[in-house]
Copies of this chain bind each other. A is one copy, B any other.
């Protein structure tokens, strides 16, 4: 193999709370020769996700932790394994990506295979653990980036989290937070397709308009304009909330529980309010939880990579093809744009799935 240069991203400082672009730095390395079983991948698209920041920064001072689905699937999460993941990613930051195989010393992969998996925030990644990779069944009618969003983690998170965790029924009242985000917008759309009444919240006027006009939400509001979330939800849900799909945690979760109907269900998908401020704790009223028999369920998309969800792809592909599901992608270009994309995610700048295109398909 010829000597190849590789641009990759690293961080210059311990990140606690809101990330800044100045905390990132682009470095260049010479790629080492491939060893047995290695797969060299050229990154085409990288997914930008909010769950990179460590919960306990003091335990991860030198780098960003990243709990990617494929990692968790192979290593059920526990305290010891955080350390393992840390060591693994110490050399670079990683995330879900789509790429093309450039060279392979692994029998399972050959040149020009299109793969999805755990790739570095870099032009090239040498994948040593093939369990973090899978070959894609690409469909020429759709862009490859869809495999990071609607056909990938975001889609399956929304589908499994909504249908499997929330067990929705037609006509139920559904509330989605971060509803213009990569997962939230799909939850709302799946819920509408099932026949639920759906209200979402988001952080800009533009997003609120989009939810109502483009995605067919029954209503939506800008939470930044509301001082009292509890009474806001009471006004938007005079008949109570049956399902809350929680992407944010914090006060919104408390307010949703206070406005929940008996036998309400909360799918806890993300806690972005906690990622950037671990002081922001949730104090749900447990009296409500008991008397209203509320179920609060955390989940990870990695649990959905099973046969139980084999209808996800055909159903979703059909919906996209027929135009019933609207695909919201927010794509930046070039490895240099990753820091700004990542920062923007925590400031709610993205509309739908945030992706950085690293190279042309």
Contact = CB atoms under 8 A, between A and B. Distances in A.
A42 B269 CA distance: 53
A287 interface: yes
A277 interface: no
B289 A293 contact: no
Interface string A263-296: 0000011110010000001111011111111111
A11 to B, nearest CB: 21
A271 B287 contact: yes
A221 to B, nearest CB: 22
Interface in A61-100: 67, 72, 76-78
Given A283-B282, A286-B268, A298 B293 contact: yes
B289 A298 contact: yes
A350 to B, nearest CB: 20
A152 interface: no
B293 A300 contact: yes
A283 B271 CA distance: 14
Contacts of A294: 297-298
A281 to B, nearest CB: 4
A105 interface: no
A55 interface: yes
B253 A291 contact: no
A25 interface: no
A289 B300 CA distance: 10
Interface residues of A, number: 36
Nearest to A295: B297
A287 to B, nearest CB: 5
A300 B289 CA distance: 10
Contacts of A270: 290
Contacts of A291: 67, 72, 77, 298, 300
Nearest to A77: B291
B289 A268 contact: yes
A299 interface: yes
Contacts of A318: none
Contacts of A300: 290-291, 293
Contact of A286 (B77, B240, B249, B293): B249
Contacts of A76: 262
B262 A78 contact: yes
Nearest to A54: B287
Contacts of A297: 293-296
B296 A303 contact: no
Contacts of A289: 268, 296, 298
A102 to B, nearest CB: 34
Contacts of A253: 286
Nearest to A287: B55
A298 B290 contact: yes
Contacts of A286: 249, 253, 268, 271, 274, 282, 298
12 contacts: A55-B287, A77-B262, A77-B292, A78-B261, A78-B262, A268-B286, A271-B287, A282-B284, A293-B303, A295-B295, A295-B297, A296-B296
